Amino acid sequence: MPIRRSALDLALLATGRRMTALGDQLRAGEITGAAWALEMRALIKDVHLYSAAAAKGGWDALTPADFGRIGQLVKAQYQYLNRFAGQIADGLVLDGHFRQRVILYAEAGRGTYYTFTQDVMRDRGMTEEMNVLHPADHCVGCLAETARGWVPLGELVPVGARECLGRCKCTITYR
């Protein structure tokens, strides 16, 4: 059974704080860009592993196929990180925008959580899904997905793939 989204949000917040602290160390010149990127890679991998495990109902529920799928998600994040690290090496200003970009790597775990939750729900016989808004400033995509109401499972634009990316405060309910 997937864990509550609120529990995942707490874990992502903690990882986001660790990533922010690393970014602050980079900004202060306490670590090199290479050291920052290496540590970020480890945290990115952790985010997607525990997000998938949360959706599947625990570490023991993850299959070899799940680990392969997680690997593909992590690989995509590594590509983004490599591009970001290159921009930093080329002189990107490490300002507040930099900090916000760093946090997005932690928040990407929400998309992984819903990717795996959808599989669990399909296995349980659920055939429909609906986006649910919660208190937040919502992007146009979240408002549009909510307006659709109940749709066949797999037809919603996934959390994490909308304009708000991993910052999405929506949840998805199933029946």
pLDDT over 60 (residue 140): yes
Given a cut of 80, whether residue 28 has pLDDT beyond it is: yes
Q: Name the nearest CA neighbour of 1 among 155, 127, 116.
A: 116
Strand partners for 129: 151, 174
Q: For 132-160, what is the mean pLDDT?
A: 91
Q: What tokens were used for 38?
A: 């290496």
Residue 91's φ and ψ, nearest 5 degrees, are 105, 15
pLDDT mean over 114-128: 95
Q: Which residue has the tokens 């916000």?
A: 100
> In the chain, what is the straight-line distance between the N-terminal and C-terminal CA atoms, in Å?
15
Q: What type of residue sits at position 163?
A: E
Residue 124 pLDDT > 90: yes
Mean pLDDT of 133-147: 90
pLDDT at 37 over 60: yes
Q: 108 burial class (0-12, 13-18, 19+ CB within 10 angstroms)?
A: buried
The CA distance from 113 to 152, in Å, is 19
Q: Render pLDDT for 70-109 as a digit per residue (tens, 0 to 9).
A: 999 999 999 999 999 999 999 999 998 999 999 999 999 9
Closest CA to 158 of 73, 100, 53: 73
What average pLDDT score do residues 15-26 get? 97
pLDDT-derived band at 2, boundaries 50, 70, 90: low
DSSP designation for 59:
G
